[in-house]
Amino acid sequence: MKLGVFTPLFNQLSFEEMIDKVAKSGLEAVEIGTGGSPGNAHLDIDKLLANTEERKEYLAKLADKGLSISALSCHNNPISPVKETAQEADELLRKTIKLASLMNVPVVNGFSGISGGNLTDTQVNWPVLPWPTEYDDNYNYQWEQKLIPYWQGINTVAEDAGIKIGIELHGGFLCHTPYTMLKLREATGDAIGCNLDPSHLWWQGIDPVAAIKILGEANAIHHFHAKDTYLDQDNINMHGLTDMQPYSKVKTRAWTFRSVGCGHDLKTWSDIISALRIYGYDYVLSIEHEDPIMSVDEGLNRAIVNLKSIMIKDQPTEMWWT
């Protein structure tokens, strides 16, 4: 395993400043945004697609710092009911897959997307209950008419390019649980897998270790985000887990993203890392720092220290005791 970082927390820095800071932090990999929610502060996708020498220079700068790219990320909504939004997201995803192939980056991360509930909707609709039955109708339309057809096409593009897709299981999108991930994968193909982030599982009541077993058994874990979540039971009693308060309302929110080790203890995180190894994921742990009560440097460094103390880097030796 290697330790890396998702770089939007350094969007205020130039690419050169960012990789210098990351390398000095003792990390080995970067996950870089090509646009969409992560932004594109550290990568000009059109420039790199157009010029072989630009790509070589870009990768050489990373290599000089001892860094590799774990994934290119373009989190967006390619099945949005807003036509322009969907087209922009689709174009970016296809470009990102092409660039990843040209740069030998094995994974492209993003969201599954969320559509409207029917052909005439102009806003997204995230059904989480089967009743009233209109929600069930919405859900079936979204999966059968929008989500599956779209990702069937992308699976073909990704397979042809030799790229794996890491869909982040994130609330508000149609793929947000192990079940919905496997449902989409079965309907599309093996290029479609998950970018597993425990922080989004905890607030849904899902045990990340159990999720790793389920998804790992299906070889469906393509990337991993290291981010924690603190669950405030008093606030859960007031707001429930589907808390619509802004993330800035830390005092009253039911749950809050935290740096690794600040929401769950390191025994829990050690179990997560062990499960990843046992179930076949031996790639990068990409730190995503979104802790609202810590600075960029303190939150990142806390995660680095905690993960380095428990991560499994070496391959196991032969069992000499059996």
pLDDT tens, residue order, the chain (322 aa): 999 999 999 999 999 999 999 999 999 999 999 999 999 999 999 999 999 999 999 999 999 999 999 999 999 999 999 999 999 999 999 999 999 999 999 999 999 999 999 999 999 999 999 999 999 999 999 999 999 999 999 999 999 999 999 999 999 999 999 999 999 999 999 999 999 999 999 999 999 999 999 999 999 999 999 999 999 999 999 999 999 999 999 999 999 999 999 999 999 999 999 999 999 999 999 999 999 999 999 999 999 999 999 999 999 999 989 8
**CA neighbours within 13 Å on the CB side: how many for 132?**
1
pLDDT at 246: 98
DSSP state, residue 317: P
What gap in Å lies between CA 198 and CA 206, rounded to an integer? Answer: 9
Would you call 217 helix, strand, or coil by DSSP? helix
For residue 210, the tally of other CB atoms under 10 A from its CB is: 12
Q: Find all residues with CB under 8 Å of 112, minimum gap 6, and list them.
A: 79, 147, 151, 167, 173, 174, 175, 176, 180, 184
Q: Which residue, among 221, 190, 189, has the nearest Cα to 208 in the 3D structure? A: 221
pLDDT at 303: 99
Residue 152, both tokens: 């069937």
pLDDT at 39: 98
Q: Find all residues with CB under 8 Å of 160, minimum gap 6, and list them.
A: none
What gap in Å lies between CA 266 and CA 260, rounded to an integer? Answer: 8
pLDDT at 322: 84
Would you call 165 helix, strand, or coil by DSSP? strand
**100 vs 87, 161, 232, 259, 263, CA distance in Å?**
20, 9, 39, 28, 33
The H or E element containing residue 228 is strand 228-231
What gap in Å lies between CA 139 and CA 124, rounded to an integer? Answer: 12
Q: Residue for token digits 């073909």?
A: 156
- Check if the beta carbon of residue 132 is closer than 8 Å to that of residue 96: no
Would you call 196 helix, strand, or coil by DSSP? strand
What gap in Å lies between CA 126 and CA 239, rounded to an integer? Answer: 18
CA 284 to chain centre: 12
For residue 108, the tally of other CB atoms under 10 A from its CB is: 30
Fold of 2-308: TIM Barrel (3.20.20)
